[in-house]
Amino acid sequence: MFTGIVTDIGEVMALERRGDLWARIGTHYPAGGIDIGASIACDGCCLTVIARGAEDGRTWFDVQISAESIAKTTIGSNRVGWSVGRRLNLERALKVGDELGGHIVSGHVDGVAEIVGMEDEGESTRFTFRAPEALAGFIAPKGSVALNGTSLTVNEVNGREFGVNIIPHTKAVTTWGAARLGDQVNIEIDTLARYVARMRDWANG
């Protein structure tokens, strides 16, 4: 489990097809603090560490990415798929006693949204996203949503489109400072919304 509070910006150092997709990701996390088998959210995708080390003074960890993850996330997007040099929002798994600063995030991406609007409001930026039709009903004003692994609060909803404000601090410590119109982003809906909808469907037969 994660909180959607990004703690590092990583970088894709290498990609290789080995049946599944293998990736090496550079990070500022100390190599000794990354356990084999640990979960790290990479742009919101929960991935398992299969190797780790340091090279030329830089820490790295390797992950193996299944076809399902590639199909459901920006990893395999035709427009913004992962490539060497891509920067990623990173978050290590939540530990008992850690501060829950965002909201509960599973790292199981539900789909891909698109940035369809950007407008500066003071020092912040108002982003408008278009969600997939199947996910739009799970997004509510003042609710939470995880976008590229970042916990954000929804300001308003209009059909498939919804808006959030991203403050300067968030833009500085995540990849949001480099976001552009048309970018595709990983979206994970709020777990509570998912279960409320499931209970409603069950009650209605």
- Which residue in the block uniquely carries the two structure tokens 């600063």? 101
**Max Cα–Cα distance, the chain, nearest Å:** 59
Q: CA 149, CA 160: separation in Å to the nearest integer?
A: 20
pLDDT (tens digit per residue) in 143-154: 999 999 999 999
Residue spans per domain, the chain: 8-92, 111-203
Q: CA 105, CA 94: separation in Å to the nearest integer?
A: 10
pLDDT above 60 (res 32): yes
Radius of gyration of the chain (CA): 17
Q: CA 193, CA 96: separation in Å to the nearest integer?
A: 24
What is the topology classification, in CATH, of domain 111-203? Elongation Factor Tu (Ef-tu); domain 3 (2.40.30)
CATH number for the domain whose boundaries are 8-92: 2.40.30.20
The band of 80, judged by pLDDT with boundaries at 50, 70 and 90, is: low
Q: How far is CA 159 from CA 94, 125, 185, 186, in A?
A: 33, 21, 18, 19
> What is the average per-residue pLDDT within 161-176?
97
pLDDT (tens digit per residue) in 58-73: 899 999 999 999 999 9
Q: How far is CA 191 from CA 2, 129, 144, 170, 187, in A?
A: 12, 19, 9, 23, 12
pTM value is 0.91
Equal CATH topology for 8-92 and 111-203? yes
> What is the average per-residue pLDDT within 29-56?
94
Count Cβ atoms below 10 Å from residue 37 Cβ, excluding itself: 7
State residue 196's pLDDT score: 67
pLDDT (tens digit per residue) in 12-24: 999 998 888 999 9
How buried is 174 (Cβ within 10 angstroms: 0-12 exposed, 13-18 middle, 19+ buried)? buried
